[in-house]
Amino acid sequence: MDDKQQPMKFWSFCKVGGGISSSDLRQILHLTDGKWHDWDPKRLPNEYMDIGHPKELPDVWIKPSDSIVIEVKGTQLITSNEFRTTQTLRFPRFKGLRSDKTWEDSMSYKEFGSIRKEVNKIDEKNSERPKRKAAVKRTKVTLLEDSIGKVSLANVALKDDVFHKQPFYVVDDVTTPDFISKRDLEVLIKENGGTITQSSSTPDVLVVADRDLPTVVGVKKAKSADVIKAHWILESVKKKRELPFDLSDFYYCREQTIATISANSDEYGDSYIREITVNQLKQVMEDIPLITNSSVDDVELRDLLIDLIDIGSGPFKGLLFPRYHFYFDRPSLAMQNGLAQAQTDKKHIEDDFDFVQTYAEFNGATVKPSLHDISLTHIIVNVEDKNRIAAIRALMMARPKMVHIVDISWIQQSWEEGTTLAVDKFVVNK
C-alpha cells in the first residue's frame, strides 16, 4: 500500500504452492530462517498486513523488511473475497525468486490498479464489434402490484405465514438472480410472515445481501449474523414453506451455522434435502473452472497433475509416474545409443519392454529414445539381458544428477500395488 503512515503495510493478493522446486524451497527457507513469527489471532500484525477473509489462516507470518520478493504468474485475474484486494490470480504458479528486488521494489496496490485498468481497456477494445449492437432493453422484475405504491410496511397485509415472524434486515437492492428493490423485497417478506428490522444486531436476524456492502463487511468482521441470499426467500415463498438451509443459500454464514446445516449436505456442500432446479444445475456447471488448450499447455497440465498428487494422498493408478523420464534399454535402441546388442532372444526382451512401457506411459511417464537425454530420471533394464548394464552405469556415473537403473519389475509391481514403490529394492547393480 502507498501509505506514508504505514510504509510496510501489505494486502493479501494470492497464495501459491505450485511450481516451487525443492531447490527454490531450500533457498526461501535459508533466506528467511529465524525471521518467522507464529500467527496469533488475538494479536494480529495489523501494522504490517491485512489478509482479508481467507478460508485458512496462516501458521506463521514475516515482516516485509525481512521477507523476499517472488514472481508469480496466472492465467487470468478474477474476483475473490478471500483476499484483501478482492481480486486474485486464477491457477497461480511460482515463476521464480526476484533477488534483484526488495520489499520496497515490489508492486504497489496503486501500480496494480493501473495495470488492471490497462488490461480492462484492452479487453474492452478486443470485444468491440464493427457494428454497434442495439441497446438491450432490460426490464426490472416487479414482484408487487403497482397498487401497493408507497404504502407503509405496517399496513402490508399478511398473505401467508411462511417465515413465522423471522426478522430480516434487507441491506439494499439485490441484483441476483434478478434485480429486486429493497422496498419490494421487504414487502414480500412482510406479506409472508416475516418481520423487518434496520439493524444487524437484532436477535436471530437474517441479513439479506448479495455483495460486500459496508454493512455486510461489518457483519462478517464481527461475525454477528448470517447473510442470506435473496433466492432463498424467493424459493421459500414459491414453495409456501421456509426451506431448510443449504450452504449455497448464504453469502456469508458463521461457523455455528455451518455446523448446524452440515448434516444436511455432502462434503461438497450440496444438500441432501433440497431439490435443484435446471438453472441451479446450470450455474453449478458454469462455476466449474474450464482448462482449455489455449491457456494451459502440456507442461502446465503435467505440473497441475503433480500438484494434485502433492496435495492429495500421493500417486494413484493412472498417475504413478508423471514426474519421471524413462529410457528403456531395448535391444532395438542399443546401436543408436552406442551399446551392444542383446545376447538372448531379442523378440522376448522387446515384448517385455512393450508390455511395461504401455503401463509407464498410461501412468504419465515420459519415454525418451536417447540414453544421452539430460532429463532422464530412470533407466529401465531387463535383468535377463545384462550385457549393456555396465556401459550404461559408466555413462550415468559421469552425470551430476543421479539416474536410477532399475528392473522392469519396478513398473509392474508399482502398478499392482497402485502406488509408486521405492526404487531401492529394484536397483540393478551388476
Delimit the domains of the chain by residue range. 10-127, 146-275, 313-426
pTM for the whole thing?
A: 0.34
pLDDT > 90 in the chain, percent: 23
DSSP single-letter state for residue 423:
G
pLDDT of residue 278: 80
The CATH fold assigned to 313-426 is Rossmann fold (3.40.50)
- Residue type present at position 262: S
Cα of 79 vs its chain's centroid, Å = 13
Q: How many helices (H) and strands (E) does the chain have?
A: 12, 17
Q: Is the pLDDT of residue 41 over 80?
A: yes
CA dihedral 39, 211, 114, 296 (to 10 degrees): 80
Give me the sign of the Cα torsion angle 398, 402, 403, 406.
positive
The CATH fold assigned to 146-275 is Rossmann fold (3.40.50)
- Residue type present at position 292: T
- Cα separation, 187 vs 162, in Å, equals 13
For the beta carbon of residue 285, count every other beta carbon within 10 angstroms: 8
409 is written with which cell numbers?
519389475
265 is written with which cell numbers?
449436505
Q: Is the pLDDT of residue 174 over 60?
A: yes
> Do 10-127 and 313-426 show the same overall fold?
no
Mean predicted confidence (pLDDT) in 55-75: 85
Q: Which of 275, 278, 277, 325 shows the shortest CA–CA distance to 299?
A: 325
- Measure the N-to-C terminal CA separation of the chain; round to a whole number of Å: 62
- DSSP-assigned beta bridge partners for residue 93: 73
- Top CATH class of 10-127 equals mainly beta
Mean predicted confidence (pLDDT) in 349-368: 90
Mean pLDDT (the chain) is 81
pLDDT of residue 407: 95
Convert the pLDDT of each residue in 312-343 to its tens digit: 545 667 788 888 999 999 988 888 888 876 56
Q: Is the pLDDT of residue 36 over 50?
A: yes
For the beta carbon of residue 355, count every other beta carbon within 10 angstroms: 13
- Cα separation, 54 vs 372, in Å, equals 47
Mean predicted confidence (pLDDT) in 398-402: 88
pLDDT of residue 46: 85
